């Protein structure tokens, strides 16, 4: 069974840039997996940030961007702010109606 | 107001059944696929099921296949998750979300299901 991999944790300084990645235990992520990214703060519902690799969801500031870097999907936050401190999850479409979330990355801004 | 509101969670004994509901409002319900996602305590998000706008196609994660059934009543703008043979590992907050694999752009606040071990 293919596992979607993410860094368990990451830290960034306020104003800094951080890139979170989303890979596969076997194979490469491409646009055909329609990677999307979700942000979740504790006790809250997730919020969509990026879909279809690089399209920002409505209302998401342009300091969030998505891409494919090498064999992984990537979420880059430019000019990190304190309220970006959250858990970030990628979602990949595996085909045949099935999607799989990565394990999530806990981002600390300090 | 555009929103999703889940209900139906609670405490259920192992092997029991429960039906979750998700009430949609403020948008054209039939235009969207709908998805169920769950989150066990202290754990990450888990995609568990998706249904297309007509209700004609449903998809499930291996972890719930054969035990859970997703359905929708488009006349009532309602989404359902019927859960059978519940296990301790099904303990989680269950979210409904508007959309499918491309984008889940609207989420409910979730409803909690507890299955004691």
- Note the pLDDT tens digit of each residue in A32-85: 999 999 999 999 999 999 999 999 999 999 999 999 999 999 999 999 999 999
d(CA A31, CA B44): 23
For residue A19, is pLDDT > 80? yes
Q: Identify from A33, A98, A103 which residue to disrupt to test chain B contact, counting B C-beta atoms within 10 A and taking the largest count.
A: A98
For residue B85, is pLDDT > 80? yes
pLDDT bucket at A26, cuts 50 / 70 / 90: very high
d(CA A21, CA A30): 13
**What is residue A107's predicted lDDT score, i.e. its pLDDT?**
98
The mean pLDDT of chain A is 97
For residue B41, is pLDDT > 90? yes
C-alpha count within 13 angstroms, C-beta hemisphere, residue B31: 4
Q: Give φ, ψ of A5 to 5 degrees.
A: -110, 140
> Are residues B110 and A87, on separate chains, in Cβ contact within 8 Å?
no
Question: Does residue A28 sit in helix, strand or coil?
Answer: coil
State the nearest Cα–Cα gap between B50 and chain A, in angstroms. 7
**What is residue A86's predicted lDDT score, i.e. its pLDDT?**
98
The mean pLDDT of chain B is 98
Residues of chain B with C-beta less than 8 angstroms from the C-beta of A103: 44
Query: Span B21-45, mean pLDDT?
Result: 98
> Are residues A45 and B101, on separate chains, in Cβ contact within 8 Å?
no
Six-digit token pair at A18?
């951080």
For residue A2, is pLDDT > 90? no
Which chain B residue lies closest to A1 (C-alpha atoms)?
Answer: B62
**What is residue B9's predicted lDDT score, i.e. its pLDDT?**
98
For residue A1, is pLDDT > 90? no
Q: What angle do CA B71, A49, B43 make, to 5 degrees?
A: 65
For residue B44, is pLDDT > 90? yes
| Spatial contact of A101 and A4, defined as CB atoms under 8 Å apart | yes
């Amino acid at each position: 069974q293919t596992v979607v991999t993410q860094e368990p944790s990451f830290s960034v300084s306020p104003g800094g840039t951080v890139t979170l990645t989303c890979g596969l235990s076997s194979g490469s992520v491409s646009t055909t997996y329609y990677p999307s990214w979700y942000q979740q703060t504790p006790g809250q519902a997730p919020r969509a940030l990026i879909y279809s690799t690089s399209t920002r969801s409505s209302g998401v500031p342009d300091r969030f961007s998505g891409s494919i870097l090498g064999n992984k999907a990537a979420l880059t936050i430019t000019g990190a702010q304190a309220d970006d401190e959250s858990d970030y999850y990628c979602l990949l479409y595996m085909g045949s109606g099935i999607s799989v979330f990565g394990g999530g990355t806990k981002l600390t801004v300090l | 107001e555009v929103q999703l509101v889940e209900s139906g969670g609670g405490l259920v004994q192992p092997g029991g059944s429960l039906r979750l509901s998700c009430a949609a409002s403020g948008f054209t319900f039939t235009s969207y696929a709908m998805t169920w996602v769950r989150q066990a305590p202290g754990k990450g998000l888990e995609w568990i099921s998706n249904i297309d706008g007509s209700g004609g196609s449903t998809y499930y994660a291996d972890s719930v296949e054969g035990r859970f059934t997703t359905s929708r009543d488009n006349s009532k703008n309602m989404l359902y998750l019927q859960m059978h043979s519940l296990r301790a590992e099904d303990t989680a907050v269950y979210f409904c979300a508007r959309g499918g694999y491309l984008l889940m752009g609207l989420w409910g606040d979730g409803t909690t299901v507890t299955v004691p071990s």
